[in-house]
Each structure stands twice: as structure tokens, then as C-alpha cells.
Amino acid sequence: MAKAPPARAIAEPPITNRERPAEPKPYEASKDELLAFYKQMLLIRRFEEKAGQLYGLGLIGGFCHLYIGQEAVAVGLQSALDGETDSVITGYRDHGHMLAYGIDPKVIMAELTGRGSGISKGKGGSMHMFSTEHKFYGGHGIVGAQVSLGTGLAFKHKYSNDGGICMAYFGDGAANQGQVYESFNMAELWKLPIIFVIENNQYAMGTSVNRASAEDQLYRRGESFRIPGIQVDGMDVLACRGAAEEAIAWVRAGKGPVILEMKTYRYRGHSMSDPAKYRTRDEVQAVRDKSDPIDHIKKLLDEQGVTEADLKSIEQEIRKTVNEAADFAEQTPEPDVAELYTDVLVESY
Amino acid sequence: MAIEIKMPALSPTMEEGTLAKWLVKEGDSVKSGDIMAEIETDKATMEFEAVDEGTIGKIMVAEGTDNVKVGTVIATLLEEGESADSAPTEARAGEAANAAPKETPSDDKAPPVPEGASPAKAESGTQQLVASAEKFGKTDPAIPEGTEMVKTTVREALRDAMAEEMREDDRVFVMGEEVAQYQGAYKVTQGLLDEFGERRVIDTPITEYGFAGIGAGAAMGGLRPIVEFMTFNFALQAIDHIINSAAKTNYMSGGQMRCPIVFRGPNGAASRVGAQHSHNFAAWYASVPGLIVIAPYDAADAKGLLKAAIRTDDPVVFLENELMYGRSFDVPKLDDHVLPIGKARIVREGKDVTIVSYSIGVGISLEAAEKLAEEGIDAEVIDLRTLRPLDTDTVLKSLAKTNRMIIVEENWATCSIASEIVSVVMEHGFDDLDAPVLRVTNEDVPMPYAANLEKLMLVDVAKVVDAAKKVTYR
């Protein structure tokens, strides 16, 4: 019998000399910035709770994917972008990303209730909302599609040399889609300015990451394309923002794409119709108790001397905004029936 | 006995070529694998290798000769002990070819034999599709009289359309497999890289889903991509982005977000390429609101409609046909030849029966119309040109005139464009009908490889003539 070659005799040592982004540091936020983060996250939380309620009342139909638990991700990351030049794209769990951009909660809620004054005139629904004004490109319902589309947006930034970058969000489920890797390949090959954000909320609908992913450390998923990845505590808005700063610096410097794996958790089911029997109530409760992103920022605010009373008044203000959005969404009329036939094509032939 | 070296067929559709250069001279000895000559086809310059060993006897076709038909003896190869004077043998039926081009399957290169013998080169069924292509180049009535016409291949017309639009608008770029350095798998993008550079003519990896999505995303971001699929068969991998991303976004966003993109490439049957490479997807895309679907027949339409496709703000599926790429037609010499989307064209006027078709089917229909004319049946032929939106007005007006209709489509009949036209006629033209509308299409089977079966599978002139006679009760 031939002697077995020594293990790893031919294998090259792991590449360690490749340049990588620096290990991100938590963002050092001013008191005002912290307050702004808090307000945005709380707005998302309360908005989503209200959306859940309206769904229960039958005012919102179809699929409705709530962002509760993941607020720190959209708020932390998007706060680092340049709203004038940078673009954002995500999947169907998109309410939070829109709110994090300061888009009027009324037109978002009205879209959820399918009204003519919704941001997509009521024709898109929960999963299909866009704001080209804010360079927010949706709102896409096919798992993983936004990754290729986002790579296309990044292509546009580079082609037009407009200085912008794209932030493309997708979940741990989408991270297994083939087109994600096709996009990784081209993005690195062409050094496109894109941050691939994997919002790893642990469950792709009812399938946990390690039941679906051979490599469950998703930040490593770009390694074979030479795309560096960073794992981030997605429940800590400052960690999110800090990671965004590092990633943006890398991408804007023309070094190509980067992956941010945001470890987060959704408290609600995959969509409103998901009873979430695939995990225990204790598991969810433990996350809520120990890692809630809003509780976390509250502590930071407390350290900065923000009083309970201040927080309460913010809470009231946000509840008011959300209630107004809900009232508007209930009262504003459904789309004009003539709208059925508009916007199919842009031009007339 | 001297071996004849014959002009090889270097692609399934090649019928003639230019003997660009001899790399050997009389008296040179060659062995198999040596490159003997360079041959230009309409797509590329190819190297021509020796298969047998011997000495080059006589070079019979000088270098620089154009239009050398496939199968023409271009040189002789002497075996050991032979002299150049030995008379070349007569070609034997079924004789294996004596030289093989690189990367061409051996049974493709077998040359046709003299008349009377059984063919060594199997005749593809697709020849019946293209036979009539150039015979009937009828000028578009919309083109001003006196306009200078230039003979142009469909391939060149498509390239010219892209080049002209790229010159006018920096947002327009081309991406796809082999579109840049290779100059296009079917040479449709020939020369674009040289003129526009790698920023705007972009080779992609073989990842249709990914680059279709990148194209759609770039369009959403404000660019005007032309995404080439090497063939539309491969676009199945990308159909999600064509339909879910490109076609629906404008509507889903309430008109906020557009996707001005052109997905283009060859569609439908090619020659002897089997089931997975011979599919017409016209009806698939034409069923989707939000898309424009164009399938031109001749070069002038190919150019004018591709320019319109690039300019429109809507996503366009632009279906070309590989068998038509090398065909020449008159193209008007105009600074800006743009045609309207959504308008059919009457390519032959007639009063007895209307033949509706599109793409390669138009040539068959025109040839059938000539045959029918010999029998006293005066057929009107309509080229739909755009399949969505469908120009039902032109179809119905013609029906009102002829009261009989057949639809010719190089496609399966079930759920086809032909079926759609039948429905339109039932709903809006029933009172004008003097006979049932018939569909003349391919057989309802996957495309076979064998030449005889392929021939049987595809629509042809005889089937069109039969159907026209049926509806005219002759």
C-alpha cells in the first residue's frame, strides 16, 4: 500500500496576507445621535406592532413581514449612508428600511392597507414599496432577487462614477440562493461598490440557519470570491453603525464588495400567518429579555443622562405618529378603479 | 490516389465562405492537425486543419477567393509515392471529409456530393425555414420613396442599431456572454468593444440569472442596458428577473420605478442543435403584461425596432433568430431609422386569404404566397413584428378583406401566438370569417436531432400552402 501523503502537503496555507477591512469598532454616538437612533428604532417597533394589529383586523391583507427585533440593523447601517448618492435595496421585509430613511409612515401604512395614497398607489403592498427619491429601490418579493438587482445598482454607481454605493439587504434564507453567488462573483470581479448585508435572523421562514446552511457562519460566504466578511452584533445599533463605517470606507475606496453578517432575531413569525412553532416561546423571550436592541439603547441613553420622562415623551410622540398613520391608512380611499390599467407600461404604443 | 481537400462547413449554418489565406503551399508535407488555411465565415475567421498525412498536390482555389461553396475542392493531398499529376478521384457518395475544422463535429463537415448522389451532408430541416428569406425583401411603405437602400445582414443591422444608440446615449451599454472580446458568440456585437471600450461592452461569466438581475438593477438605477443572451434557451435561467423584476416593477411601484432594459438574443429553432437549443419563447413572454415583445423578420425591421426598443422606457424582450443573422435585406440609409413598436406590417397584399406570421415564419409565408399565386390564390401576408402589444387592428382589417386566415408560426401550437390570434379573431372578427382559422406550426414534440425528423418537425411551405387551400376550400 502506498504511503499516504502527509495531510495538507499540497494545500496552500490559508491566505492571510490579503487586505481586509479593519475590525470594526462600536460607533461613538453623540447624545443627539443616540436619541435619533432611539426614535427611529422605536418608530419601527411601534409601527410594526400597529401593522400587526391592523392585519389582525383584516385591514392589511396577504403577506406582511414584520421587522420587530431587527430594528438596530436598518437604523444603524442606513444612518451611515450618504442619502444623496447611496442606494438601498432589500427583500419583502421592507417596512423598517423605509422608516429608517425617514419616509412618511402614513404613505407606508396606507400602502399596507392598499390605499390610493400608499407609496405605490396601493398596487404594491407590504412587499413592494419603493422611493426613488430616497434611492430606496424596494421591496422585492423573490428571495435573493434583490442581491442581483442591488449588484446592478452598484454597477450603475460605478458606471456613472457618481460616488455612490449600494447596500443590498437579504436574509439568511436568501444567502443560499444561487444568484447570490453569481452576484458575488461579478461584484468582486468588477470591484463594484456594494455592501452585501445578510440579516441573519436565524430562521428562513421555519428553517433554522444550521438546518439549511452547510456553512452557517454566513460572513464567510464570500471567501471563495475573495469578498471579505464581517460578523456583527445586529442587536446593537452602535455595533451596526460601526461596522457600516468600516464597510463603507472599504467599498468607497474602490476595493470591491464586502459582506456584513448581522446577527439578529425576529420576534414575530416569518409573516403574519406564521405561528412560529419551530422555536420555543422561551427562546424568543430570552432574546427579548437579554438582547433587545431598544432596551440596549435605552441603557445607553440613561448613561448619557436622558431621563425616564424624556423617553416617555418620545414614546408618546411616536405612538401619536403611528396612530395618525394608522388612521390615515384606514380612512384614505382605495385606489381609483381606473388605476387598475395605469402603470403597466410607461409609454403608449 | 490523391485526396481531395474540400471547403469545410465551419458552422451549422455556413453555406459558403472566403478562403482567406493558405498557410501551406504546393509540395509542403502536412500531417493531421497541421493548420492548412484560414477560412472566413460570416461570423469569424477559422483555422482549417489537416486530417490526413501527405503532400499538398495542387491548390485549386487561390487565397482571397470569396464565396467558395462548402464542398468545393480547394486542394489535393498526395499520399506517399503519388505525383501531383495523378487525377483527383471522383467524390464518392458518403465519403468522409478529408479535413476537419477545429471544434466542429465531424459529421457536420461532410461536404455535399455531386448532383444525383445521396447527400453526405444531412440537410437540416431549418433550410426549409430560411430558403425563402432573401427572396422577398419588400420595402416598408413607411420609408420615404427614393431612400437609398443598402444590402445589410440582419446581424449587421442589429449591431448598427446598438452602435447608433450607444453613440447617442452614454447610458446604453451591452452586457452578456462573449459580447466583448470574442465579438459576440454569433458576432452580433462585432466591433462594439473596439468602438466603445470595456466600460460599455461587458463580458459576463456564464451566469444568466445573475447578469439579468444586474442588468435589471442597473436599469432601475437609471441606465439603459442591453442584455444579450447567447440564446433565449439560456434565458430560462434568468426568466425570474425578466418577469418578476423587469416587467412588474413599474406597476408594483405605482409608476415610480422603471426598468428600461432590452433582453435580446436568438430565439427559436437553429440548425441541428436538438431539443434544448431549439425553443421559441415568444408566447411565454408575450403573455406577460409589463413587457414589450418584439420579433423582427428582416434587417430593416431588426434595426428600426431594436433602436426603438433601446429608447423606450419599458422593458423589452427582443427575439432574434440565428438562422436569419446571415441573411441580407435592403436597409434604408437614414440617419435615424426607428420604427414604431406595436405596429404590424403587410408584407404582401392579397385578397383571398390572410397569412399572419412573425420572425422566420414570414419568409415561409411569403414563399407559400408565391406558390398559392400560381394556383390562383391571392394571399395577403402580415408580419406582426411586435408580439406585445399585438397589432390586432391590422390583423382584423385584413380578415375583413379576405375573410380567411391562417397563422404561421415556428413554434408549438399549444398556447402559442397563433392561438392568441385565433382568440382575437373569435372575439372580434367572428362575423368576418368564412372558414375556421388554422394554425400552421411545428409538430407537438421536442426538437429531434436527426435531420429527417427535424425536417418533419418544423413548419414548412407545403404545410402553409395546404392550410391556405383548406380555408379557401380549394
What ipTM, to 2 d.p.? 0.92
pLDDT at residue number A62: 93
Single out the residue of B428, B440, B324 nearest to residue B379, CA to CA: B440
Task: Please report the residues numbered 149 through 178 in chain A whose beta carbons come closer than 8 angstroms to any beta carbon of chain B.
Answer: 149-157, 159-160, 178
Q: Is B178 exposed, middle or buried (0-12, 13-18, 19+ CB in 10 A)?
A: middle
Contact A149 B223 (CB under 8 A): no
Q: Is B92 exposed, middle or buried (0-12, 13-18, 19+ CB in 10 A)?
A: exposed
Single out the residue of A93, A92, A164, A161 nearest to residue A134, CA to CA: A164
A33: left (phi over 0), alpha (psi -120 to 50) or beta: alpha
Single out the residue of B103, B464, B445, B43 nearest to residue B278, CA to CA: B445
Whether domain B345-471 has CATH 3.40.50.920: yes
Single out the residue of B474, B260, B270 nearest to residue B378, CA to CA: B474
Shortest Cα distance from B326 to chain A (angstroms)? Answer: 30
pLDDT at residue number A7: 47
Contact A124 B252 (CB under 8 A): yes
Quote the CA–CA distance of A309 and B452 in Å, as a whole number. Answer: 87
Quote the CA–CA distance of B164 and B179 in Å, as a whole number. Answer: 17
C-alpha cell of residue A347: 409609454
Q: What's the predicted TM-score (pTM) here? A: 0.89
pLDDT at residue number B132: 60
Shortest Cα distance from A162 to chain B (angstroms)? Answer: 12
Quote the CA–CA distance of B101 and B452 in Å, as a whole number. Answer: 24
Cis peptide before A69 (omega within 30 of 0): no
What single DSSP character describes residue B246?
A: I
Cβ atoms of B383 and B297 within 8 Å: the answer is: yes
Residues of B in contact with A148 (CB under 8 A): 209-214, 216-217, 241
Quote the CA–CA distance of B361 and B268 in Å, as a whole number. Answer: 11
Share in percent of chain A as helix, strand, coil (round to 5): 45, 10, 45
Is residue B48 classed as helix, strand or coil in its secondary structure? strand
Hey, which residues of B are catalytic here? 208, 277
Q: Which residues of A59-96 are buried (b: 16+ CB within 10 A; e: fewer)?
A: bbeebbbbbbbbbbbbbbbbbbbeeeebbbbbbbbbbb
pLDDT (tens, 9 = 90+) of chain B, 474 residues, equals 788 999 988 877 788 889 999 999 999 999 888 899 999 887 778 889 888 889 999 999 999 999 999 999 999 999 877 776 654 444 444 344 444 444 433 444 444 444 444 445 667 778 778 766 555 555 566 778 889 999 999 999 999 999 999 999 999 999 999 999 999 999 999 999 999 999 999 999 999 999 999 999 999 999 999 999 999 999 999 999 999 999 999 999 999 999 999 999 999 999 999 999 999 999 999 999 999 999 999 999 999 999 999 999 999 999 999 999 999 999 999 999 999 999 999 999 999 999 999 999 999 999 999 999 999 999 999 999 999 999 999 999 999 999 999 999 999 999 999 999 999 999 999 999 999 999 999 999 999 999 999 999 999 999 999 999 999 998
Q: Give the model confidence (pLDDT) of A314-335 as tens digits.
A: 999 999 999 999 999 999 999 9
CATH fit for domain A31-328, picks 2.60.120.10, 3.60.15.10, 3.30.70.3270, 3.40.50.970: 3.40.50.970
Q: Give the model confidence (pLDDT) of A125-154 as tens digits.
A: 999 999 999 999 999 999 999 999 999 999
Quote the CA–CA distance of A47 and A38 in Å, as a whole number. Answer: 14
Within B206-252, residue ranges assigned H as helices are 208-220, 239-240, 249-252
Q: Are strands B149-153 and B54-59 parallel, antiparallel or unpaired?
A: unpaired
Quote the CA–CA distance of B399 and B392 in Å, as a whole number. Answer: 10
Q: How far is CA A64 from CA A142, A173, B114, B272, in A?
A: 14, 17, 72, 50
Pick the residue of A127, A159, A334 with the most B CBs within 10 A to test the interface with B by mutation.
A159
| Parts of chain B belonging to CATH 2.40.50.100 | 3-121
- Read off the amino acid at residue B358: Y
Q: How far is CA A75 from CA A66, A89, A230, A293, in A?
A: 15, 14, 18, 11
Contact A128 B290 (CB under 8 A): no
| Parts of chain B belonging to CATH 3.40.50.920 | 345-471
Single out the residue of A35, A40, A29 nearest to residue A103, CA to CA: A40
- The domain limits of chain A are 31-328
Q: Is A308 exposed, middle or buried (0-12, 13-18, 19+ CB in 10 A)?
A: exposed
**CA count, 13 A, side-chain hemisphere, B148:** 4
Q: What is the CATH number of domain B149-332?
A: 3.40.50.970
C-alpha cell of residue B145: 420613396
Quote the CA–CA distance of B96 and B94 in Å, as a whole number. Answer: 6
Q: How far apart are the first and last CA of chain A?
A: 76
How is domain B3-121 classified at the architecture level of CATH?
Answer: Beta Barrel (2.40)
- Per the listing, cell 457536420 goes with B108
Task: Please report the residues numbered 19 through 58 in chain A whose beta carbons come closer than 8 angstroms to any beta carbon of chain B.
Answer: none
Quote the CA–CA distance of A218 and A174 in Å, as a whole number. Answer: 11
Query: Which sign does the torsion angle of CA B62, B64, B69, B75 carry?
Result: positive
Contact B255 A122 (CB under 8 A): no
Beta strands in B154-208 (DSSP E): 172-176, 201-203
Shortest Cα distance from B91 to chain A (angstroms)? Answer: 51
Quote the CA–CA distance of B385 and B318 in Å, as a whole number. Answer: 10
Quote the CA–CA distance of B364 and B108 in Å, as a whole number. Answer: 25
- B228 Cβ contact list (under 8 Å, min separation 6): B174, B175, B176, B177, B179, B184, B188, B189, B264, B265
In the predicted model, what is the mean pLDDT of residues A257-281?
93
In the predicted model, what is the mean pLDDT of residues A62-69?
94
Q: Is B219 on the interface with A (CB under 8 A)?
A: yes
Helix (H) or strand (E) holding B37: strand B35-40
Task: Please report the residues numbered 62 through 101 in chain A whose beta carbons come closer than 8 angstroms to any beta carbon of chain B.
Answer: 87, 89
Residues of B in contact with A182 (CB under 8 A): 205, 207, 209-211, 213
In the predicted model, what is the mean pLDDT of residues A293-319?
96
pLDDT at residue number A11: 52
Is residue B429 classed as helix, strand or coil in its secondary structure? coil
User: CA geometry: angle at A118 spanning A117 and A124, to 5°?
Assistant: 135
Contact A139 B312 (CB under 8 A): no
Nearest residue on chain A to B389, alpha-carbon basis: A349
Rg (CA), chain A: 21
